[in-house]
Each structure stands twice: as C-alpha cells, then as structure tokens.
Amino acid sequence: MLSPREGAGPRRVTRPCLNPVAGRAVGLRVRARAFGSAMAAQGRGAEPSSELSPRCLRRYQELLKRAKEEARSGELRQAVLVLREAQAVWPSSSKVSRRIERLEQALRDMEQEEEEEEFTALPGSDLLLYRPLYLRLYPHQRHGVAFLHRLHRDGRPGGILADDMGLGKTVQLIAFLSGMFDAELVRWCLLLLPSGLIRNWAAEFGRWTPGLRVRGQRRRRGGAWA
C-alpha cells in the first residue's frame, strides 16, 4: 500500500491546484498581466507627432492601443509583435523601443524562472516529475511514464508496459506514481506482486522516491507466510 508520508512533517510537494501544469501556467499568466498593466499605465505620455502624416499617426496610435491591450491580458509576446509593427511605422520612436526592450526582458526573466522550476514536464504528457527524478530517467523510461499517465488521463481500463528485462519497468512505475502523488491526482495506490518481491519494491521506492510511505504485507497460507 502506498500513501503520502504521514507524521513526518510536510509532504515533498504542495500545490494549490490538482493540475500542476495548469497551476504553473496560471501563475505565469497572472504575472504577465500584472507586468503588462503596469507597463501600460506608465506609458501614457504623448510623443511629438510632427514626423508622421495624419494617416501614419492614426495607424501608430492604433497599434499602441492594441499592444497595451495585449500586455494587459498577459499576452506579452503578442504585444511585442504589435509594437514591432508600430516601430516600422515610426522607426525613431523611443517610446516603442523602450517598451519592446522591457517586454522582452520580462519574457526572458519568466522563461529563465520557468526553466529553473523544481518540476519538469514529461514528453507527450502534461504530468510533471520531480526534476532530480526526471533527470535520472533514460529517454525510453520517460516515454514509458508518459504512456502510463496517458492511460490514466484518458480513462483506459489498463495497459501493459512490455519493455524487456532490465530496461527499468519498476522505476517507470515508481516515477509515474511519484508524479501522480505530487500532482495530488491520487491519494493511495495498491500494488499486487509476488511476495518475494515486496522487499525489493520497497527498497526501490526508498531509493527513487523516499517521500512516499510504503507498506508491504504478505498473505498467510496453511500456517506459513507466503
């Protein structure tokens, strides 16, 4: 029987939502919106417009308005693209150049922070794994964990992980369960296996995911433990 560790302080991971990918995306979007709103509020001053014809000036102002709306909604990359259109209309505009520079720096900062997060998404899956565990897996094992998660996500009745002996089927299942517990998608799990392998599996859980609480139990047959 597997369950989150009890009586030993906080779990390794706590999250405010069940879907860690959605939680991360929401957090980044909130930050992007806050930055975009602040930038739009600071950039309300008017620039001299004598360099532009009335038609070009209207186009320039429309693009600035669109860029502000994109930034306020958190679409910083789209705001940069719109500002580059405005820059093409008025190449000497220092306001547009400053806004593009600030937005691009904000995007770089958020991307760097995302790369340094504690969890990494599996290829072909929205399940996140604890990064140190993810880095210890071989590429074929990562795909195996993603396969197991897709079975669960799509409501499949079951599946077979049929790698050859020695390719790490045990660790793939352990990594899958670790990700499921970390994402709070499961609260406990029952594993059925030959009694002679209970200690081995418990040791593997301790090696790969020491934060999980593991209990092994043998059935009694004819007066002897089997």
Residues 172 and 213 in one domain: yes
The tokens for 103 are 């937005």
Residues 109 and 174 in one domain: no
Classified as helix, coil or strand, 135 is helix
Q: Are β-strands 128-130 and 2-4 bridged in parallel, bridged antiparallel, or unpaired?
A: unpaired
Judge whether 97 lies within some domain: yes
Per the structure, the complete domain to which residue 161 belongs is given by 2-10+126-217
Percentage of the chain beyond pLDDT 70 is: 70
Judge whether 175 lies within some domain: yes
The CA angle 176-181-182, to the nearest 5 degrees, is 95
- Residue 210: closest CA among 131, 143, 141, 133: 133
- Residue 173: closest CA among 216, 135, 133, 215: 133
Residues 30 and 71 in one domain: yes
Residues 132 and 104 in one domain: no
What is the pLDDT at residue 88?
92
What is the pLDDT at residue 84?
93
Judge whether 62 lies within some domain: yes
| Those residues with Cβ within 8 angstroms of residue 20's Cβ, 6 or more apart along the chain or in another chain | 119, 128, 182, 183
Judge whether 223 lies within some domain: no
Judge whether 50 lies within some domain: yes
Reported pTM = 0.47
Tens of pLDDT, residue by residue over 142-156, are 888 898 888 888 888
The CA angle 216-183-155, to the nearest 5 degrees, is 85
Residues 130 and 156 in one domain: yes
Domain boundary among 65, 84, 115: 115
Cβ atoms 208, 153 nearer than 8 A: no
- Residue 180: closest CA among 7, 13, 37, 9: 13
Residues 134 and 51 in one domain: no
Residues 97 and 138 in one domain: no
Residues 170 and 141 in one domain: yes
Q: pLDDT tens digits for the chain (226 residues)?
A: 565 544 333 334 433 333 444 444 445 555 566 666 665 555 555 555 567 788 888 999 999 999 988 888 778 888 899 999 999 998 988 889 998 998 888 888 877 666 556 788 787 788 888 888 888 888 998 888 898 888 888 888 788 888 888 888 888 988 888 888 888 888 888 888 888 888 888 888 888 887 778 877 665 555 444 3
Percentage of the chain beyond pLDDT 90 is: 8
Positive or negative: CA dihedral 101, 103, 104, 105: positive
Q: What are phi and psi of 121, to 5 degrees?
A: -75, 140
Q: How far is CA 193 from the centre of its chain?
A: 32
Judge whether 120 lies within some domain: no
Residues 107 and 134 in one domain: no
Q: How many CA atoms lie within 13 A of 83 on its CB side?
A: 28
Q: What size, in residues, is the chain?
A: 226
Q: CA-to-CA distance for 226 and 99, rounded, in angstroms? A: 71
Cβ atoms 171, 143 nearer than 8 A: no
Q: CA-to-CA distance for 79 and 225, rounded, in angstroms? A: 68
Judge whether 73 lies within some domain: yes
| Those residues with Cβ within 8 angstroms of residue 23's Cβ, 6 or more apart along the chain or in another chain | 15, 16, 17
Please tell me the total count of domains within the chain.
Answer: 2
Judge whether 206 lies within some domain: yes
What is the pLDDT at residue 40?
57
